[in-house]
Amino acid sequence: MSTDRLADPAELAEQERDLVLPRFTNDDAWRLGCLLVDLARERGAAVTIDIRRGGQQLFHYALEGTSPDNDAWLDRKARVVLRYGASSLAVGERFRAKGTTFEAASHLDPALFAAHGGAFPLRVAGVGVVGVVAVSGLPQTTDHALVVTALTRFLT
């Protein structure tokens, strides 16, 4: 069992406290999605991007070099965010901090849930988590960082 840390839990918690949206509309999903596409292109990153609010997919884009596997990863990571109300990377870190893994200790089907970085809760002030923004295609901490960068820019 691996207990290697991937990210600082305090930093992950701070990101989730700071990256709270005043609202989240369909147009906001479009703007955030396009921002993520632009950031990925600037970095030459082959990623698939997905944004969901409630049960509805509002944005989905696959850059060249991605595959249907990325869609499956997006679904699995998004389920973790919606179940735990935290980023998929933070959830994985919580399990690692306990000396175990998400796969071993969550008792959730790994074909449906993946606590790998890249999915982040869309939290609206005064409301709570309303959806998920997710990226798949890079190492998990890089996927996570891309989403955090996009949300930070989106909020400024």
pLDDT beyond 80 at 5: no
Per residue in 73-85, pLDDT (tens digit) is 999 999 999 999 9
5-9, 23-27, 100-104, 108-112 — which is least confidently predicted?
5-9
Q: Which helix (H) or strand (E) holds 73?
A: helix 68-84
Query: What's the pLDDT score for residue 74?
Result: 98
Query: What's the pLDDT score for residue 38?
Result: 98
Query: What's the pLDDT score for residue 4?
Result: 54
For 9-155, which CATH class?
Answer: alpha beta
Domain-by-domain residue ranges, the chain? Answer: 9-155
Q: Measure the CA angle with vertex 152, ends 114 and 64; round to 5°.
A: 55
**3-class DSSP state for residue 115?**
coil
Q: How many CA atoms lie within 13 A of 153 on its CB side?
A: 13
